[in-house]
């Protein structure tokens, strides 16, 4: 049985979320700040489904020390309880390598204390229930601790943005042609700077097209959408979506 709070957006009765922009000095490094807060006082815990993008995150919450969260290749189910909040820094894919003394693939599917990666002192004793104040403190910290420039990381970051913005890119061989690199070089650079394979990134952003159509709340011609995204047929799209999201598209759509 599904938790009825998953369906038709009922989770919004106890949870809210939003986004804040970074300062101009950080726009080459930080995609966005995001925040979520919830109040489940007197209610059972809630299991939230989170679908990953190829971003490394720095997260702050009242219940734990700041954490670095590498790219997760699969879906995450996080249990929410009580009254709490979290603020996250979503770094642009391709740029966090300059903070980390190792390839990004070494933190894929892993979380580790932020103090093990970033120089102290991280912002302390800021009310996580006030996301704007916390984002401002984190922004000031990151501006004061800018990493060295990395031209290769910037180029890989631009490649990821090209993938996100180009629905016609569906295969790795198209990427090698677009970026003028060999497949071996492409794989190595993505492991080093993104933490996941170019094929994973392609699949994630093409499946984003599916959730975007859902958000439009218009009827979806699934066979036509599968063809638009380069799938042989609707069943291949459904299988790929289910592998990434843990449920078929129509079940996922019921959440919203």
The beta strand positions in 71-159, using DSSP E, are 76-80, 83-91, 111-113
The answer to whether 170 touches 230, Cβ cutoff 8 Å, is yes
Instruction: State how far the Cα of 101 lies from the Cα of 79, in Å rounded to an integer.
Output: 31
pLDDT at 125 > cutoff 70: no
What one-character DSSP code corresponds to residue 76? E
Confidence of residue 18 (pLDDT cuts 50, 70, 90): very high
For 4-144, CATH gives 2.60.40
Strand partners, 15: 38
Mean pLDDT value across residues 67-74 = 95
Q: State the burial class of residue 219 (Cβ atoms within 10 Å of its Cβ: 0-12, 13-18, 19+).
A: exposed
In the chain, count of helices (H) and strands (E)? 8, 8
What is the maximum span of the chain, computed from C-alpha positions, in angstroms? 57
Which overall architecture, per CATH, does domain 151-253 show? Orthogonal Bundle (1.10)
Domain boundaries along the sequence of the chain: 4-144, 151-253
What one-character DSSP code corresponds to residue 155? H
- Tell me the pLDDT tens digit for each residue of 191-245: 999 999 999 999 999 998 898 888 887 888 989 999 888 888 999 999 999 998 8
Mean pLDDT value across residues 18-27 = 97
Which of the two residues, 43 and 119, has the higher pLDDT score?
43
Same topology between domain 4-144 and domain 151-253 = no
- Tell me the pLDDT tens digit for each residue of 81-118: 999 999 999 999 999 999 998 999 999 999 999 999 99
The answer to whether 154 touches 193, Cβ cutoff 8 Å, is no
So what's the pLDDT on residue 121?
83
So what's the pLDDT on residue 44?
96
Question: CA angle at residue 229 from 153 to 104, to 5 degrees?
Answer: 25
Instruction: State how far the Cα of 58 lies from the Cα of 55, in Å rounded to an integer.
Output: 10
So what's the pLDDT on residue 22?
97
Instruction: State how far the Cα of 18 lies from the Cα of 12, in Å rounded to an integer.
Output: 12
* CB-based contacts of 233, cutoff 8 Å, min separation 6: 223, 226
Q: Helix, strand, or coil here: 48?
A: strand
Q: What is the dihedral of CA 235, 236, 242, 247, to 10 degrees?
A: -10
pLDDT at 1 > cutoff 90: no
Confidence of residue 62 (pLDDT cuts 50, 70, 90): confident
């Amino acid at each position: 049985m599904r938790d009825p709070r998953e369906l038709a957006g009922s989770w919004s009765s106890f949870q809210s979320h939003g986004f804040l922009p970074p300062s101009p000095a950080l726009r080459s490094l930080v995609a966005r700040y995001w925040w979520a807060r919830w109040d489940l006082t007197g209610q059972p815990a809630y299991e939230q489904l989170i679908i990953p993008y190829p971003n490394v995150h720095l997260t702050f919450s009242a219940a734990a020390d700041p954490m670095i969260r590498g790219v997760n290749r699969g879906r995450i189910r996080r249990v929410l309880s009580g009254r709490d909040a979290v603020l996250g820094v979503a770094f642009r894919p391709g740029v966090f390598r300059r903070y980390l003394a190792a390839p990004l693939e070494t933190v894929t599917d892993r979380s580790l204390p932020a103090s093990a990666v970033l120089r102290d002192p991280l912002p302390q004793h800021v009310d996580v229930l006030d996301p704007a104040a916390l984002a401002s403190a984190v922004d000031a910290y990151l501006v004061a601790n800018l990493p060295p420039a990395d031209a290769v990381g910037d180029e890989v970051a631009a490649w990821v943005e090209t993938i996100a913005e180009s629905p016609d890119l569906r295969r790795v061989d198209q990427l090698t042609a677009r970026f003028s690199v060999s497949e071996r070089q492409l794989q190595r650079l993505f492991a080093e700077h993104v933490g996941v394979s170019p094929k994973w990134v392609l699949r994630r952003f093409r499946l984003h097209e599916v959730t975007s159509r859902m958000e439009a709340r218009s009827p979806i011609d699934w066979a036509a959408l599968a063809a638009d995204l380069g799938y042989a047929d609707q069943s291949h799209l459904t299988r790929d979506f289910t592998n990434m999201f843990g449920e078929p598209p129509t079940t996922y759509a019921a959440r919203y």
